[in-house]
Amino acid sequence: MKKTKIILSVLILLCIAVITNIFVLKNEFNNSIQEYNLGVYELIGLIKEKYSDVSEEDIINILNGKENQEYIEEGSNIAKNYGINNEESAILKLEDSKNNIIIYSSGIIIALAIFITIIWIINNLIQKRKISKITEYIKEINRKNYELKIKENGEDELSNLRNELYKITIMLKEEAENSKKDKKFLAKSLQDISHQIKTPLTSISIMLDEIKDNENMDYVTKQKFIYEISRQVENISFLTISLLKLSKLDSGTVEFEKEKYDLEKLVNEAIRNLEIPLEIKNQEVIISLKEAYIIGDYKWTLEAITNIIKNCIEHTKENKKIFVEIRETNVYTELIIKDEGEGIDNKDLKHIFDRFYKGKNSSENSFGIGLSLSKSILEKQNASITCTSKLNEGTTFKIYFYER
């Protein structure tokens, strides 16, 4: 379309130039007529002055084209004496020249009009061909064929349309690939969930069968079974609730609150929630906190931080320490949680936040879901988390809050 506009603009300018040329030539023709008339007037005056016996009627008759063969022959002989003949007439045939100019100019205009028409027809055929190709591309996209290469370097409207279609094709291709990945991930997740739930359910079923089939089971053994069943039920409950939370986060249905709160207060509450496991393992939390306000959802962030500290407690031996510190910079507020645990192998470290991943140092009761949930909660609120670790030296989690 852009090329067509340029061609049409050039042709229009040419037409304007031809029309202008006609007016210029017409003006020159009129000037020539005036000069010719002045020469005729001068000739008439000269003849009357020199040859008073020549009548005005004879002069006018000659000028109006009433031929007298005798005068023609005599005048022709005089003209020849001065080198003037019929091929090189001293008097131009102005009317013929005028007609020739008009015919020539009209011919150019007609030729230009024909040229414009041909260009227009050819351009329409090219456009129809492009539109037909684009239609075929759209049909192929509807057939889920995303392997089309339809990108063009042109700048006209149809080329831009083809490039936009190319972008859409790339986007659809990526979405199709992501959909396949999501399906594979969902299938794997369902398999992992099934496995995670199947294990405690099997254990519960066996213990219940033992209690039911063994009526003479001693009280102590029965209480142990009941306690273990309760613990497995709690594990299933925790897993189910965690999976529901993850599914909400994945689907984007969670609406996070935007409130300003004291991070120090949140960390202290998370530690209070974990007082029992801390007391059981006789672990001490060394706190280096200060008042630091951030913006986000208090309850969801509390769960994320609680899961991280809980992970440190589980992977730290008895009588060891856990360190919690808050630092502030001009860009972010940093929360550092460090333990004196056994550390994480480099092979496992890169998967530490993967859903259902269990490293070689994971406990039997671990589902591999707590840290994944914490990471999702934090990232949904424009925060980030990193983990570094050394075997036998401990693990350090660093959380960066950018909204304050």
Domain ranges of the chain: 2-140, 176-250, 255-401
| Among 377, 386, 399, 400, CA closest to 257 | 377
| Among 347, 386, 343, CA closest to 361 | 343
Q: What single-letter DSSP state applies at residue 86?
A: S
Q: Which two tokens stand for residue 311?
A: 């992970």
Give burial (CB, 10 Å; 0-12/13-18/19+) of 270.
buried
pTM for the model stands at 0.52
Which pLDDT belongs to residue 8?
A: 65
Which pLDDT belongs to residue 130?
A: 72
**What CA–CA distance (Å, rounded) separates 232 from 200?**
6
* Cross-strand pairs, 335: 326, 399
End-to-end CA distance of the chain: 52
Which pLDDT belongs to residue 93?
A: 47
Please tell me if the domain spanning 176-250 has the same topology as the one spanning 255-401: no
State the architecture of 255-401 in CATH terms.
Answer: 2-Layer Sandwich (3.30)
Which pLDDT belongs to residue 160?
A: 62
**Per-residue pLDDT for the chain (404 aa), expressed as one digit of tens each?**
555 566 666 667 667 766 776 776 677 667 767 766 676 667 677 776 766 676 777 667 666 656 566 666 666 666 666 555 555 444 444 555 556 666 666 667 777 777 777 877 887 777 777 777 767 777 766 666 656 555 555 555 556 666 666 667 667 666 766 666 666 665 666 666 676 677 778 888 888 888 888 888 888 888 888 888 888 888 788 777 877 787 778 777 788 999 999 999 999 999 999 999 999 999 999 999 888 999 999 999 999 999 999 999 988 999 999 999 999 999 999 999 999 998 988 888 888 888 777 766 666 556 678 898 899 999 999 999 999 999 888 999 999 999 88
User: Scanning the structure block, which residue is given the tokens 């994971």?
Assistant: 362
* Cross-strand pairs, 323: 286, 338
**What CA–CA distance (Å, rounded) separates 358 from 363?**
8
Classified as helix, coil or strand, 120 is helix
Q: May I ask the CATH class of domain 176-250?
A: mainly alpha
